[in-house]
A and B are shown apart, each in its own frame.
Chain A
Amino acid sequence: MKAYIAKRLAWTFFATWVTLTITFILMDLSPISASGAEFVDQQVQAGMDADEARELYEEQLGYGDTMWDRYVNFMVGLATLDWGLSTTYNQPVVDVIANSWIYSFQYVFPATVISVVLGFAIGLYSATHQYTREDYAATLFAFTGISLPNFWFAIMLILIFGVYLGWFPIFYSTEHGLLSLENAHQLVLPVVVLSTSAIASEMRYARAESLEYVHAEFVKTARAKGLSEGQVTVRHIFRPAMVPLITILVGDILGLLFAGGYVIEVIFQIPGLGLVSYEAIIQQDMPLVLATVLVPVFIAIIGNLIQDLCYTILDPRIDFGDR
């Protein structure tokens, strides 16, 4: 097992390096950012040559003269934990990430818990009550949740519950303490938006996986042994279904954090990691882009490692000892 973990960790570093290198190359070859173009345009109107203005912009960025210089600077910086200065915010990258992750976590975490618990529970219920009215209702909810675009749903909730009813604030304000009731209050709408689609998605997976076991021989045997329906559902249907479900969990959480999170964070103006990483890409803020790529890549790879290890707990037949 130790050798397996060591091999996986080594793979983690290699995969991270490859991902960062590809990201660097794509970013470096990209045309100048909108803010860079704006800078050049202003300087040219002020009388400077366009070429000169581009050079001044590059100087201000301070990334290095050649592609190789820049690559070495960034990679050495990342390896030595000197992640540099974000050019979008003119702050150390570490500070930007340290200040923003908590804002994402505070709504992604409850949304994830809610969506996993409710999604799996409803999916399981649907599977064990296939083709009943409850199953159809859950399926309708799932398709509605998956089909609703988050940005539209969020704007509608703001209009109804913020503007017209005045029950919730329209945008997220950092003036409230993270553990305050006001903060929880202003996170209700973002959590609802994020959970709605996530519950629907988890539910469909859970239903599909559970259905594989509802009519399995060992489930019939369990019932024949006189186990209660609850015990059959939890121990003999849900447990084996959990193995493939866990496989999608890490991807789902990352999706919520960085993809779903961006839309939520822009509309509710939550200063979280999704917003920051998106802006970094748009502004071609290389140090921040590389750092915000590094974090999810690490989470994904380590998360996958942990989930592999979880298999051995969920299904004792799985053993990595020989690998």
Chain B
Amino acid sequence: MCMRGKDHNGATDRRHILKTVGAAGIAALAGCTGESDDPPAGGNGDDDSTDPSTDDGTDDVQIQGHWIGAQGSEAPNYNVFRVTDTTSGARISRVMDPAYALDEDSEFVPRLVRDYEVNDDFTEYTFTLTEHGEWSDPYGQMTAEDWVYSITEVIQGEGNWASASGEDNWRMGVDEVPDGFEAADEDGTQAWFNVEETGEFEFTVELPEPFPAFLQEPIMWGFQEVVPKELLEPYVEDQDGDGLNEDEEIQELAYTGNLGAFTIEVLETEARMYAVRNDDYYLRNYEGYEDAPYMEEFTYQVMREESTRLSALQAGEITNTGIPSRRADEFEDLDDVQIINTPTVFCQSMFYNMREDGWGALNVPEVRQALTMAVDRQAIVDNIQMGYGNVAHTLAPEYSEFYDDTHVVEWDYDPDAAQDQLADNLPSPYAFEDGRVVDGDGEEVVLDFVFSDSAEATELIARYIQDELEDIGLAVELEPVPWNSMLNEFFYIPPGEARDWDLMAGIGRNSYPRAPEATESYWAETDEPWNTANAYGYDDPHGIADMLAEASTMSDDEERQEVLAEVFGILSEEQPWNFLYFPEDLNGYRAHVEPSEDPSISWGYDINRWQIEEEQ
């Protein structure tokens, strides 16, 4: 059986992604970053409208307007091989399309890759490129040779000479490197994907093991790490990663030709990226996109101060920005502003330190369950998140097609039951005396709760949880710290060197709703947990990581779904984290913006067909 041009549900491999970046990057295209700094796309359309285009015979499409989207930070890098941030990613997406997108239903949406085929055992994917793609002068037509060269010589380059951030995406863990594949590490536990040109506009990606979810992973999905071969060659020959990174054509995205909807005219540090409609956009050769994009101009304006962004949206000086949930009501009441809520892939949680430097009782599932019952998560959603979110019971959002609550245990808010369960399950030497948790010396246990000081909501949540845990007899001391310190002085650092912590909040983790198996690394037990995504030291007694790894190779959807349902159930029972809630992003747009898609985690994938009506 050979499948073509359709969506496949599949498993996933642990060595994948910058899924965080992938998903968030797509969101950033459309401005669905909610309270984050980088809103999606947007435009204000009120100052540069031109005559409606009728040249192509389309009556109902108005090509007009100037989209001005506010970004809370500057794009640090336009070197596509090193980009990891959503601000840069969103800007690059305006001038260069990705390989393909995924729509609201996770269906394949062709862009530079027009079609694909996959073999029966999900080990070989063949991609067909557009024949209308042109690089900027003097690089000529975009062909499969450029793609294969970029992947094999730069991303998979020897010793990662280019310091490519996505290098990890193009290899996978194996028991033994199969014949015909190259080892990607010294001990032979990783194998590179084989990428070969099979035609002028066609190339294949061969995988050492079945990988049904390959298309849903941000490997080829959203892939933009392609540069003309001729531009790359001198750097590849000299293995000059810094030279490549400093190349003006790379940093100014001057090679993108007709591969994106817009062409950059101005790039100003700490100010703006201004781009105009690309009259030669390759996508216009395809049905449904004959007039794309529907805007004349596009600007990303850096605006670091939230109040300035919100004032500018209110006054109509920008087209869109993210709205903090605490101010949602105020903007909902404005006639000329619309707010569109989109789901997110991130689960806001509280981590437990289950390593040797954490409070020992946190290794007991019943204790963790008690702590979950002690916290009114619905109150957090209602009063801190202002209702924009959903309580999480496991690491899977309910909108995910894989969500299955057959085995999911929901721990309702019940402080009395929580206190009883805590008292009944405290391991020696801890005990419950006079309503307080004490250690073997009769001293009250005080948990260190470290949280990121970068978001007001996180602090409110931490204070609320502190109160809730106090109520069941657990003393908690709060320690707000900068996010980078939290990761580097508490989290990704071995016990003994790490500063003391028992509870932690402020790290949102991607639930990978399109490929939940990608969460495998969150649970995999290792000798050095602090060196991995399981830095809190979960010991995985039920083998969740192995189950996810197994599911990732299953081609039978039902079988895979059963395994995932079981995993979701175990996670809800085990409560390795206190899964708090899945927030929603609030995207503020001027009322004259007309999106062409439904709110989803793919929000913005079709931005080039959004319209800006004339503002009254």
Contact = CB atoms under 8 A, between A and B. Distances in A.
A46 B17 contact: yes
B531 A90 contact: no
B77 interface: yes
Nearest to A41: B487
Contact of B268 (A48, A90, A99, A268): A99
A158 B311 contact: yes
B74 A174 contact: no
B139 interface: no
Contacts of A33: 484
A91 B251 contact: yes
Contact of A38 (B84, B163, B242): B84
Nearest to B302: A269
Interface string B594-614: 000000000000000000000
Contact of A271 (B84, B169, B270): B270
A171 B312 contact: yes
Instruction: Report, as a range, how many residues of chain B touch the other chain.
Output: 35 or more
Contacts of A41: 487, 492, 507
B487 A100 contact: no
Interface string A213-257: 000000000000000000000000000000000000000000000
A33 B271 CA distance: 22
Nearest to B15: A47
Contacts of A162: 311, 315
Contacts of A45: 17-20, 509-510, 521, 533
**A-side interface size class:** 35 or more
Given A37-B487, A159-B311, A163-B311, A47 B270 contact: no
Contact of A43 (B165, B266, B312): B165
A97 to B, nearest CB: 10
B92 to A, nearest CB: 13
Given A158-B308, A171-B303, A46 B269 contact: no
B76 A59 contact: no
Contacts of A36: 484
A110 B320 CA distance: 33
A173 B16 CA distance: 40
A41 B483 CA distance: 11
Interface string A116-153: 00000000000000000000000000000000000000
B268 A31 contact: no
B168 A43 contact: yes
A89 B76 contact: yes
Given A37-B487, A60-B82, A174 B268 contact: yes
Contacts of B302: 269, 271
A291 to B, nearest CB: 14
Contacts of A38: 84-85, 483-484
Nearest to B24: A42
Nearest to B483: A34
Interface of B: 14-21, 74, 76-79, 82, 84-85, 160, 163, 165, 168-169, 173, 241-242, 245-246, 251, 266, 268-272, 274, 301-305, 307-308, 311-312, 314-315, 317, 482-485, 487-489, 492, 507, 509-510, 521, 528, 530-533, 535
29 contacts: A34-B484, A35-B85, A37-B488, A38-B84, A40-B487, A44-B532, A45-B19, A45-B20, A45-B533, A46-B16, A47-B15, A49-B528, A59-B241, A60-B82, A60-B163, A88-B74, A89-B270, A90-B246, A100-B270, A155-B307, A158-B307, A159-B311, A170-B312, A171-B312, A173-B301, A174-B271, A271-B269, A271-B270, A276-B270
The 5 A-B pairs at the shortest CB distance, nearest first, are namely A37-B484, A271-B270, A50-B492, A47-B15, A271-B271
